[in-house]
Amino acid sequence: MDDWLRSAPATLQSVRELRNRLAQGLSLFQVSPKDQANWLLCFSELATNSVKHTAPPATRLWLTLKEDETGLSLILEDDGGPQPGLASAPLPDELQEGGYGLALVHQLFAEVHFSRDGDRNRVTLRQQGPVNQLPVLAVIDDDKVMRALLTAYLHEHYRVESYADSHAALLALGKQPPALVLSDIEMEGIDGFGLRQQLMKDPKMKGVPFIFLTGHQDQWTQSRAGALGIDDFLVKPITKQDLLLAVSRVLQRSQQLKSQWGEQLDQRMTSALRPLLPATSIGGYQLALQTRAATVGGGDFLLVKDRVLWLGDVMGHDAEAKFFAHAYAGYLRGLLTAHDLERAPARLLTILSNAVHSDPLLGATLLTTLCIELGNEGRVQWASAGHPAPWLVGPGTIRQVGVTGPLPGLRPDPHFVTNERQLKPGEILLFWTDGLLDSRDAAERQRWESQLKEICLTSGPGLEQLAHRIARWFDERINDAALDDMTLLLVACPGA
């Protein structure tokens, strides 16, 4: 396949648009949705870094996909100033407050190469091995000549696995579902109707499109076939062109339906995961919450049970991050229910960390999280696992408080510290996810911290007013092109 090339201005809006186009380009190279997530995540991190942190600033981005016998490569170029620090970005044992996307690029790809070519920065990501995996079609027909003919028609565009009878097909398809099934109706033993009925009972095969191919076009045959929920009905003899068109049409329609279902599921997951407070007052505490979701997907969540709050941030800004956020949220709900009497934040984090360390699903991504307990008479306790430490805002003062522990699951014997603060009237604890101040440029982050402190110290009375001011500042700063989530939680105890 020819190289895939795109170019755009170096803006955050263009990063979002290029990301969407890159997803289309990866599909052309037959990259699976699971692998696409890694490519898209790394592109977002690298392109955002080019836009935000080159000096002098980049004005344009160039994106290339190319494939050779060794595998697929992504090349991202920008015309900004040199970035010598990008070549080595190890993943830390404990995360600080500046984000971790660039380190993960090195974790997700075996070959990551940074260079300066003339007036351009260039980063190359390479995936090992061939990626052009053709869709698998299962052809079932007891006529040897017909099987050979159908295979000859299809083999240029698909990988064809043919079966001489339904029994052999059922044994194989139950282990590894194909992209599509093309079956004759009249066969010895289990005929095509029986095959379809058997496959419909297999949960793994329910979403696989199915085409009947037969020499009969009488009304009874067509009606019975239609009652089995097939996707198309082809009559022999059939030309190569008609067969290819039918298969392509059915596969495209199947993909459209899956995409629509995925979008609906994504919307439901977004709604379910959206950080919410059950009330603005819990146990005498006043709380205020502001959230912003990334353009695609997102991994922030907030859970509240009685006086225990979990604030979490899953690595990534895509649908995969949202999936893992959903998985973590479900696990934490169960954890809080199973340990209903346990309120010590450090102990709860230890239980979570041990589960992540031993569970392949939870351990497949990175999570930073805070466990907060709103105690009696203004005594707030919290423990952090790789999460930014909160700020304590008081009359005329603001400072970072507490210590941060290791990432969940990073060690088999984690040690978390329970931080404690006796809130006084007029004091506010400000908790957030790292999207609020996410920058890999130290000077820029320091400038943003100064701006945020100024907002906190100059806002009038009222927790909601302060939360809204910070959210407006965040919106203006990212110019409606957020590539990361942001969740902000303010806690005060007026009656302390």
User: How many angstroms separate the CA atoms of 383 and 379, rounded?
Assistant: 14
Please name the residue ranges forming H helices in 157-278.
166-173, 192-200, 219-227, 240-273
Q: How far apart are CA 283 and CA 380, in angstroms?
A: 12
Together in a domain, 97 and 172: no
The distance in angstroms from the start CA to the end CA of the chain is 68
Cross-strand bridge partners of residue 429: 392, 491
Distances (CA, A) of 59 to 8, 45, 77: 9, 17, 11
CB 408 within 8 A of CB 385: yes
Is residue 473 in some structural domain? yes
159 and 190, same domain (yes or no): yes
Co-location of 112 and 150 in the same domain: no
**Cβ–Cβ < 8 Å for 183, 140:** yes
- Predicted confidence at residue 85, as pLDDT, reads 56
Q: Is the peptide bond before 412 cis (omega within 30 degrees of 0)?
A: no
| Cα–Cα distance for residue pair 156/125, rounded to 1 Å | 29
Number of structural domains the chain divides into: 3
The last residue of a domain, from among 128, 155, 183: 128
Q: Can you tell me the distance from the alpha carbon of 449 to that of 456, in angstroms, rounded to the nearest whole number?
A: 10
Residue 115's φ and ψ, nearest 5 degrees, are: -155, 165
Token digits of residue 105: 């690029």
* CATH code, 232: 3.40.50.2300
Environment class of 143 (CB within 10 Å of its CB; exposed 0-12, middle 13-18, buried 19+): middle
Contact 43, 63 (CB under 8 A): yes
Q: What is the tens place of the pLDDT at every residue in 155-179?
A: 888 989 999 999 999 999 988 889 9
The predicted pLDDT at position 109 comes to 78
Are residues 376 and 357 part of one domain? yes
Give the pLDDT confidence score for residue 97 in this predicted structure: 35
- Give yes or no: residues 25 and 111 share one domain: yes
In this structure, what CATH number is given to the domain that contains residue 97?
3.30.565.10
Helices (H) and strands (E) in the chain, counts: 12, 21
- 138: β partners: 161, 181
Tokens coding 104: 């993960």
- Looking at residue 103, what is its pLDDT? 59
Range of the domain at 486: 274-492
The order of strands in the sheet holding 71-78 is 4-9, 60-68, 71-78, 120-128, 111-117
Q: What is the pLDDT of residue 72?
A: 86
pLDDT in tens, 411-440: 788 889 999 999 999 899 999 988 888 776
Same domain, 482 and 352: yes
Residue 45 three-state SS: helix
Q: Are residues 293 and 335 in the same domain?
A: yes
Q: Which residue has the tokens 């070519």?
A: 117
Give the pLDDT score at 34.
66
Question: Do 451 and 427 belong to one domain?
Answer: yes
DSSP 8-class letter at 405: B
Residue 204 lies in a domain: yes
**Under DSSP, is residue 180 helix (H, G, I), strand (E, B) or coil?**
strand
CA–CA distance, 437 with 486 (Å, rounded to integer): 9
Enumerate residue ranges in the chain where pLDDT < 70.
Answer: 1, 33-34, 84-104, 106-107, 128-133, 259-276, 294-298, 316-326, 339-342, 361-364, 440-441, 478-484, 495-496
Q: How far apart are CA 328 and CA 332, in angstroms?
A: 6
Residues 192 and 252 in one domain: yes
Question: Is omega for the bond preceding 237 within 30 degrees of 0, making it cis?
Answer: yes
Question: Rounded distance, CA 356 to CA 412, Å?
Answer: 10
CA 489 → CA 97, 98, 289, 486, distances in Å?
A: 16, 19, 5, 10
Question: Rounded to an integer, what distance in angstroms lies between the CA atom of residue 344 and that of residue 30?
Answer: 49
Show the tokens assigned to 102.
Answer: 């660039």
The Cα–Cα gap between 111 and 421 comes to 46
With b meaning 16 or more CB within 10 Å and e meaning fewer, what string describes 70-96? Answer: ebbbbbbbbbbeebeebeebeeeeebe
Q: Is 387 domain-assigned?
A: yes
Q: Based on the fold, state whether residues 80 and 145 are members of the same structural domain.
A: no
pLDDT at 93: 37
Same domain, 86 and 105: yes
Q: What is the pLDDT of residue 390?
A: 95
The whole-number pLDDT of residue 294 equals 61
Note whether 230 and 287 are same-domain residues.
Answer: no
Q: Is the pTM of this model over 0.85?
A: no
Write down which residue in 262, 297, 332 finishes a domain: 262
Q: What is the predicted pLDDT for the residue at 100?
A: 45
> In terms of Cα–Cα distance, which of 73, 103, 71 is closest to 87?
103
